[in-house]
Amino acid sequence: MILAVAPRDDVHAAAVSRALSARGEELIRLDLSRFPRRGTIALGVERGPGQLVLRDGRRTIDVSRCRAIWWRRPAPFALPAEVGPPALRGFALAETSAAFSALWLSVRTRWVNDPVRTEIASRKPHQLAVAAAAGLAVPRTLVTSDPGRARAFLRACGARHGAPAAVLKTLTPLPDRHAFTRRVTARDVAALGALRHAPVILQERVDGVDLRVTAVGGRLFAMEVDARDTAFPDDVRQDWPAAARTARPARLPPAVAAGIRAVMDRLGLVYGAFDLRRRDDGEHLFLEVNPAGQWLFVEDATGLPITAAVAELLLGRRGGAARRGAR
């Protein structure tokens, strides 16, 4: 059994499920939003192997018997509406999270990716430091809640069309909204005092062609997109139909490919979706890596066989072995 921890409506999990089914293998999807609302958990500690059992409605899953676990995009836990007051709801969700964390830490199987390593790898400032240490070029970046430091950084970035030549990113996703990368505006500069309440990522804006590199085990699938003439040149996701017209498979310089693989190794990942920007002079700059990034849009635009590679990775057959749970 291969387990995918993902929402039931996740299209990537559905695509991999079909690929595995064609190979005579089964993918079972586990939607954590059903816990503790409809499901139960049991961790037995005893001599010898313990019990690691989930019951999701009528289905029982012995997690200790999983051939591999795909930590795709776990949904948040959910409680029945009648549970209250808010303090009790918070306690119940915290206890559920603690129990599941213990379960994941107890499993010894192939992980794609290990949830602890995924959590660490998701921190954007940490990614940049790791990428720089691995030999990849990175843009000048500042993470700060200090308005004075932010103003000095933006001045150092220069200006274009009356606004700083810089972009703004959040450290975590915004509630119920996509966290798009966008240019810093004059209005943002005027509101820098608000940084005292929450830090932000400021980064010099790099002009060039976007690259999406999907790393599956040791295999790299690269796509380039020139979004400079679209309405949203700083984040191709905001107008993908327009950007997709320029999408095509890309070749990576050997040093860049080696750097990406080094980042994967140092972060302990076996799957990662990398965003880079290639300047007109050919220099490639690392922007970020998503340990559970989407790839179907890349596959649709380029024909690169990423779904098949993910299925093979879960089976442990190609592109490098997925890491086991030992830490």
pLDDT at 175: 61
Provide the token pair at 143.
């993470």
Could you give all domains of the chain from N- to C-terminal order, each with its CATH number?
Answer: 2-107 (no CATH), 120-136+208-324 (3.30.470.20), 141-204 (3.30.1490)
pLDDT at 177: 58
pLDDT at 275: 96
Which residue is associated with the tokens 């798009």?
180
The amino acid present at 311, given as its one-letter code, is A
**Of 41, 56, 58, nearest in space to 107 by CA:** 41
- Helices 306-315 and 11-22 pack at an angle, to 10 degrees, of 70
**Of 152, 67, 46, 162, nearest in space to 110 by CA:** 67
pLDDT at 232: 83
pLDDT at 230: 84
Distances from the Cα of 149 to the Cα of 165, 181, 260, angstroms: 16, 20, 31
pLDDT at 320: 46
For 225-264, b/e burial (b = at least 16 CB within 10 A) is bbbeebebbbbbebebeebbebbeebebeeebbebbbbbb
What contacts 266, CB < 8 A, 6 or more positions away? Answer: 130, 133, 134
C-alpha gyration radius of the chain:
21
SS3 of 275-309: the string is EEEECCCCCEEEEEEECCCCCHHHHHHHCCCHHHH
**How far is 61 from 43, CA to CA, in rounded Å?**
12
Give me the tens of pLDDT residue by residue for the chain, a chain 327 residues long.
899 999 999 999 999 999 999 999 999 999 999 999 989 998 887 655 556 888 887 789 999 889 999 999 999 999 998 888 899 999 999 999 999 999 999 998 999 999 999 999 999 999 999 999 999 999 999 999 999 999 999 999 998 877 899 999 999 877 655 668 888 999 999 999 999 999 999 999 999 999 999 999 999 999 999 988 888 888 888 888 888 999 999 999 999 999 999 999 999 999 999 999 999 999 999 999 999 999 999 999 999 999 999 999 999 975 544 444 333
**Of 226, 213, 182, 240, nearest in space to 295 by CA:** 213
- Lay out the sheet containing 219-225: strands in order across: 248-249, 219-225, 209-216, 271-278, 284-290
The amino acid present at 96, given as its one-letter code, is T
pLDDT at 314: 97
